[in-house]
Amino acid sequence: MTYNEIITKENPYGIKTPTSVDEFRENLQKYYVTIPRNYDRKKYPNRQEVPFEFVDLYVQEGEIPLMDIESFDDIINYPHRRRFESESPHIFPMITEIKPLDDYMGETDQCFSSVGYFKDESHFKLWDKVEDYLEKGNPLWFTLDNLHLREFYVMTLGRFTGFEEQNNEK
């Protein structure tokens, strides 16, 4: 499936693939674990509505202010986050596997990819709230270069992933 096929088909959970940097940041805040900081809790009781300038993306290697992120490259190259030059950064997509990925791959005769897995809501749960995800979900770190998450990354973060030229056909 090509990038254009991913973003032009209807996404599960009403996910809107971003077309601007602000929409990209909005989706980072909505679908990935972020940490609000120094904000008025009375004015913004829902942490998903905290303005970008008060939110950091929670990256295993260190938090990154959303205002400093315009693409995956900004996460990869963020100055303080690199422990080892060859490592891809780790982020927390707010998803929990329902259908085992191995089962899906077997059913669809895929060995090294999982194209189509994230097009079906019955395969995974997408959490609305960070607190619920951390308490009831199965929080796992995933690298930005994780082959099985690319479809989800492109669906939620669009061309800002750098995967737009990727062709993941079976």
Whether pLDDT at 85 is above 70: no
For residue 169, the model assigns a pLDDT of 44
pLDDT in tens, 68-84: 999 999 999 887 555 55
pLDDT in tens, 7-44: 556 899 999 999 999 999 999 999 999 999 888 888 88
Average pLDDT over residues 36-56: 87
Residue 37: Cβ within 10 Å count: 12
| Residue with more model confidence, 49 or 59 | 59
pLDDT of residue 34: 95
pTM more than 0.85:
yes
Q: What are phi and psi of 117, to 5 degrees?
A: -55, -45
The whole-number pLDDT of residue 167 equals 45
pLDDT at 150: 94
pLDDT-derived band at 62 (thresholds 50, 70, 90) equals confident
Span of 60-74, 80-94, 123-137 with lowest mean pLDDT:
80-94
The yes-or-no verdict on residue 127 having pLDDT over 60 is: yes
pLDDT(148) > 90: yes
Residue type, 65: P
- Identify the band that residue 1 occupies on the pLDDT scale cut at 50, 70 and 90: low
